[in-house]
Structure 1
């Protein structure tokens, strides 16, 4: 006869298995409870590195209480009782039996530094994931009065987080994450983007002399391949000092194969024949949209790296820095377009921990082989 579960019966099958770092935390805490002197072998780790409130409270209590006499600790549970009492002020569910469980599950107390490194690595992963999430959420927050400034502030915060992680896990040359990169997200309002890009192209065709003032705008900033190709046609004609009008742009588009993708000549002529506003205005709009899309893609890419358990902390740093470098290029162009400068504190954060330290005499750097990431 089949068993009918009681509504009040716990269904243990629905409880997810703990992550490997949970066992590393247990092993580390067990080692410290067995031999509190090992705390000196795990410098740099703090209570917020632990994944549960109970573990964080226990580590905080162990760190705050004076270590017991080793001989006395071997005979008495007095210090363990003090740790439990202090930890229960923040985690009421802790019990003496759990402390004994921690001691029992610790394989080798002398491996405490290795356990601490595992805990620290997973903490770095959570930090990076949280910073990337905040960045992506800011990109999509339609309530912000200054969206670009808010997004760049979050990008700076993410840069600082990556720099802090790099001090603990310096990236190794040539080691990048193997996590598949998520595809770029679709534009929030594709119809608006298409309309504004068409106005930009038409206005630039009518006033080609103004194209020189938006040299910071690139074909990659357009959302439509045809629009990107037409912008290249316009900039090429201007650079050659050739006549610019809808017909000459159409001819250049034919030479570049843009009309082989289903675009009709009449449609292109009509697109280029309705100018409005200024080239600089529409150019800034296109660049801003491109910057936000780049930030969104960088944030989601870094989040994907952090979500991949096979990505090491060294790869996380290398991959995040590569993503932020892609963002840095378009950010520089946006600053040229708008006149905004990069704060000195952000420059220092981008430069990394070595640039913020006092200069020291060091031997000449070895040359980096071609194709390798320094």
Structure 2
């Protein structure tokens, strides 16, 4: 059986055995459980606790009504739950005092949540690629960044971008054929304009990079044009050809003389700034899709601890943050991006964060001699009882 599913059963079984364990699981919410029946049962147990169920003040053993009432309440919201399954959950709990550790079902919830949001970012990027937009990709990147920050606080760690030791394996992007043809055409037109009118480089050189070109050969031509512009040398088909030769692009197969001739002989009329923005738009969508694939690959690695997953996912969004800044410069409408480390109005309070950290340090169960010599304590602090009356 999946370890996270076993942990869900054990956490619920611990609370059914000892209602006081709920106070150590306040950092969990019903939607952190994978199975609908588990979500409904955990919500029911919290409702009974909030309503002041008599089991919370039981002096000796936990009354059977704690289990039956929880099953009845959960049965109002989900089908198929019986008292038999509730006792199966009790049997699945080795030690009720270890409930905070079993509460690591939050790990599975973190992986599932990040994977789901990565899929949505990929869908937004594909829509932008088809429509020639950027808003959907950038907006949903903000959503994913905010989710990562919130999950980091719930897990009890500080969100910070950290590169993984081994980059996740992702499938190569396959752009929509129609849009790919349009992007290649825009790139060729832009390079022709920059070759015909070298001063037009001033309009794009501040925010357009060689990596923004979908075709690697086009990116290398742009790099040559930018180098000539940077050195203040004349730009024409001959100097461009010489610069490509000097960089070894003609000998290593990156470029061919025919490709350069086709670009130099192209129509050089048009706005370099407008064409550059079209190239950058396509680059934003591709970068968003690449980041989404990387984040999803990380989330699907079940062996990756949540803290590392969150920080690696933030690192995977880094290229999208960088190209966002350049897009804002190009469009002339900069908009501040919410930081993933900014406090969320819905973030759990400090007490819940401290409770979350107890998942790694379960409470010590008093020994038999300590139990005999101790004074009566409230039900929430008693050693867990494994029976019901």
| Superimposed CA distance per residue, residues 84-143 of structure 1 (whole angstroms, 9 cap, x where no aligned partner) | 110000112100100111111101100000011x11111111111111010001111269
Q: 1:272 maps to what in 2?
A: 264
| 1:310 matched to 2:303 | yes
Distance 2:83 2:165 in 1: 42
Q: 1:297 maps to what in 2?
A: 290
Distance 1:21 1:168 in 2: 18
Q: 1:334 maps to what in 2?
A: 327
Distance 1:95 1:335 in 2: 57
Q: 1:102 maps to what in 2?
A: 89
Q: Taking structure 1 as reference, are residues 73 and 124 closer, same or farther at Cα in structure 2, changes over 3 Å only?
A: farther
Map 1:5-84 → 2, pairs under 5 A? 18-65=1-48, 66-67=52-53, 68-69=55-56, 71=58, 74=61, 76-84=63-71
Worse overlay, 40-49 or 144-153: 144-153
User: Which of 118, 127, 135 is the aligned partner of 1:141?
Assistant: 127
Shift of 1:144: 8.0
Distance 1:205 1:154 in 2: 37
| Superimposed CA distance per residue, residues 58-78 of structure 1 (whole angstroms, 9 cap, x where no aligned partner) | 000100112414546726312
Q: How many residues align?
A: 336
| 1:182 matched to 2:175 | no
Distance 1:172 1:160 in 2: 10
Q: Which runs of 5+ in 1 are unaligned?
A: 1-17, 358-374
Shift of 1:188: 2.5
Worse overlay, 268-277 or 47-56: 268-277
Alignment RMSD (CA, Å): 2.4
- Give the conservation status (yes or no) of the 8 Å contact 2:128–2:137: no
Distance 2:102 2:298 in 1: 22
Q: 2:101 maps to what in 1?
A: 114
Q: Which runs of 5+ in 2 are unaligned?
A: 348-389
Distance 2:167 2:94 in 1: 32
**TM-score after normalising by structure 2:** 0.80
Distance 1:268 1:122 in 2: 52
Distance 1:284 1:231 in 2: 14
- Give the conservation status (yes or no) of the 8 Å contact 2:129–2:286: no
Q: Which has the higher contact order (CA 8 A, sep 6+)?
A: 2
| Superimposed CA distance per residue, residues 141-180 of structure 1 (whole angstroms, 9 cap, x where no aligned partner) | 2698673111111111001000011113325986736463
Worse overlay, 299-308 or 316-325: 316-325
Q: Taking structure 1 as reference, are residues 266 and 150 closer, same or farther at Cα in structure 2, changes over 3 Å only?
A: closer
Q: Taking structure 1 as reference, are residues 301 and 75 closer, same or farther at Cα in structure 2, changes over 3 Å only?
A: closer
Distance 1:303 1:103 in 2: 35
Distance 1:84 1:355 in 2: 33
Q: 1:243 maps to what in 2?
A: 234
Q: 2:198 maps to what in 1?
A: 208
- Give the conservation status (yes or no) of the 8 Å contact 2:213–2:219: yes
Q: Taking structure 1 as reference, are residues 239 and 145 closer, same or farther at Cα in structure 2, changes over 3 Å only?
A: closer
Distance 2:127 2:67 in 1: 48
Q: 1:371 maps to what in 2?
A: none
